[in-house]
Structure 1
Amino acid sequence: MSSTELPETRTAAAPPASRSRAVRVADGEELRSVTLPGLSLNVRARPGDRPGLPSALYVHGLGGSSQNWSALMPLLADLVDGEAVDLPGFGVSPPPADGNYSVTGHARAVIRLLDSERRGPVHLFGNSLGGAVATRVAAVRPDLVRTLTLISPALPELRAQRSAWPTALLALPGVSSSFARLTRGWTAE
């Protein structure tokens, strides 16, 4: 049993787009495939315990799948109507037709999913790569996001601010001692 597999999981047929592999489905979960022009996504749903609950969408990290959320979704089932998506090229979702695996490409896929199903605004959860994707979705389409929950998000596209460069340079070997010698005669004024 893998670390992402729940003890109560069973094997089910994969959505039609990828029948070549079996997919793990926890009790209470439903799998479906959403086909959009140039994009097909596998969606794992855990309907809420009560009708009318707000929607939630869970976005997995690099190398993960919607199954990564199978343990959390039942814990929140009395609060949200949750769905987890397999990003394009992950889980059983086929690769994107345009070959774009960037954060922006994945965010575009999530936005298209939410728009096609008119599910927004959702409680958007993201882990690792999914956190970067969720952040991008929230920045570009805040109308689709009710709340944003990030779990160890990978935010590689953040660029260092110019005002932080001098502080970063002090971490280099020899720079702080050189700076101390250079500023030794400086007064507080």
Structure 2
Amino acid sequence: MPPTTSTGRTPITHVPLTTTPLPPLDAHVAPWPGETESVGGLDLHVRRTPGTDEAVAVYVHGLGGSSTNWTDLSALLAPFAGGIAVDLPGFGFSEPPAEFDFGLNSHAALLAEFIDGLGKGPVHLLGNSMGGAIALLVAARRPDLVRTLTLISPAMPDRRLDYRRLSDPRMALAYLPFVGKRVRQALAALGPEERARQVIKLCFANADAFPAQRLAELAEEHNARAEFAWAAPAMARSTFGIFRAWFSRGPESLWAAAEKVSAPSLVVWGEKDRVISVRRASRTATLMPRARLLVLPRTGHVAQMERPNTVAKAVLAMWERVETGDW
């Protein structure tokens, strides 16, 4: 895996794209229906994409996201793997238990338990952002559960002090003493569509390309979550959980976990990612023994939403090559 160039630009590593035809992408298709399933006494909201029984893909969203972040990619991959997209505790429509601590280790342990409980054997595991870090930990600690691993802009340690990484700069003040309560009230007063637009502006390289149908769905989800008393605390505590992981050193660090991943892996990063810098891409892929790196130009933090066709072709190419022993 080539290192970062002297200019600081991460080189684009050649990753083959499948030539197998994919189903046509329809941005008007609604998110897959969801229902609550019990995992080790914890109820999780899950969306299942109908597909073949021969393989299973599990999709894990990022901070502030939900299972709907995978609607398009899971539809494209449905002919090749039945899809299961989870709402992590405190996100989407999964109410967290009172004792849940929202650390990455806790999320990873719960996800591993969920996958184990499927009884489907090792799965194709895909994660974005925080979900990518969680998927990385599962693959490192439970290799028996992971057939392949796809990480899309995983939340690897990135400790830049840059408020442009926030969908609203006021979020940096939201949990400070004295001023925090007022800031949280101001943020809560934003309409659901405005909040949705802020998220897309942060996560997409070209926010204007986000389909109107998907924006409406995101706004509707923001509106529904505004009624959940646990939603804002879950967001805050998961954010702090990521920060704690970023400052972990030695064998507890995410970098150390990457070295332990034995599954065939694909790392996808948007070159215009403003949330987790593309400068983390090369190191992430280099540390993983069987990983290949794909850096997408004109792409932001959620490549599976902004470039679903390209990501699907790269993921399917990995699946196909793993089967033939060519990865």
More helix by share: 2
Shift of 1:87: 0.4
Residue matched to 1:140: 141
Corresponding residue to 2:38 among 19, 35, 40: 35
- Say if 1:37 and 1:160 are closer, same or farther in 2 by CA, change over 3 A: closer
Q: Tell me, in whole angstroms, the C-alpha distance in 2 between the residues paired with 1:77 and 1:83.
A: 10
> What is the SS of the residue equivalent to 2:156?
coil
**Native 8 Å contact 2:40 2:113 kept in 1:** no
* Paired positions, count: 136
Q: Tell me, in whole angstroms, the C-alpha distance in 2 between the residues paired with 1:119 and 1:108.
A: 18
Residue matched to 1:8: 29
Residue matched to 2:154: 153
> What is the SS of the residue equivalent to 2:72?
coil
- Say if 1:52 and 1:8 are closer, same or farther in 2 by CA, change over 3 A: closer
1:74-103 superposed Cα distances (whole Å, 9 cap, x missing partner): 110111111100001100001134221011
Q: RCO greater where, 1 or 2, for CA within 8 Å and sep 6 or more?
A: 2
Q: Tell me, in whole angstroms, the C-alpha distance in 2 between the residues paired with 1:123 and 1:8.
A: 23
> What is the SS of the residue equivalent to 2:107?
helix
Q: Tell me, in whole angstroms, the C-alpha distance in 2 between the residues paired with 1:97 and 1:111.
A: 20
Residue matched to 1:78: 79
Residue matched to 1:47: 50
Q: Tell me, in whole angstroms, the C-alpha distance in 2 between the residues paired with 1:78 and 1:35.
A: 27
Structure 1 residue runs without a partner (length 5+)? 1-5, 10-25, 162-189
- Say if 1:119 and 1:97 are closer, same or farther in 2 by CA, change over 3 A: farther
Residue matched to 1:108: 109
1:13-52 superposed Cα distances (whole Å, 9 cap, x missing partner): xxxxxxxxxxxxx3xx23221113441111101011xx43
Q: Tell me, in whole angstroms, the C-alpha distance in 2 between the residues paired with 1:8 and 1:78.
A: 16
- Report the identity percentage: 51
**Native 8 Å contact 1:46 1:83 kept in 2:** yes
Q: Tell me, in whole angstroms, the C-alpha distance in 2 between the residues paired with 1:125 and 1:37.
A: 22
Q: TM-score, normalised by structure 2?
A: 0.39
- Say if 1:98 and 1:53 are closer, same or farther in 2 by CA, change over 3 A: same
AA partner of residue 77 (structure 1): A
Residue matched to 2:88: 87
> What is the SS of the residue equivalent to 1:71?
helix
Residue matched to 1:98: 99
Q: Tell me, in whole angstroms, the C-alpha distance in 1 between the residues paired with 2:132 and 2:44.
A: 18
More strand by share: 1
Further displaced range: 95-104 or 30-39: 30-39
- Say if 1:146 and 1:37 are closer, same or farther in 2 by CA, change over 3 A: closer
AA partner of residue 48 (structure 2): A
**Native 8 Å contact 1:38 1:98 kept in 2:** no
Structure 2 residue runs without a partner (length 5+)? 1-26, 158-244, 251-327
Q: Tell me, in whole angstroms, the C-alpha distance in 2 between the residues paired with 1:88 and 1:119.
A: 22
Cα RMSD of the aligned pairs, angstroms, is 1.8
Residue matched to 1:67: 68
Q: TM-score, normalised by structure 1?
A: 0.66
Further displaced range: 64-73 or 98-107: 98-107
Q: Tell me, in whole angstroms, the C-alpha distance in 2 between the residues paired with 1:124 and 1:88.
A: 18
Q: Tell me, in whole angstroms, the C-alpha distance in 2 between the residues paired with 1:118 and 1:149.
A: 21
Q: Tell me, in whole angstroms, the C-alpha distance in 2 between the residues paired with 1:119 and 1:152.
A: 27
Q: How does 1:120-139 map to 2 (within 5 A)?
A: 120-139=121-140
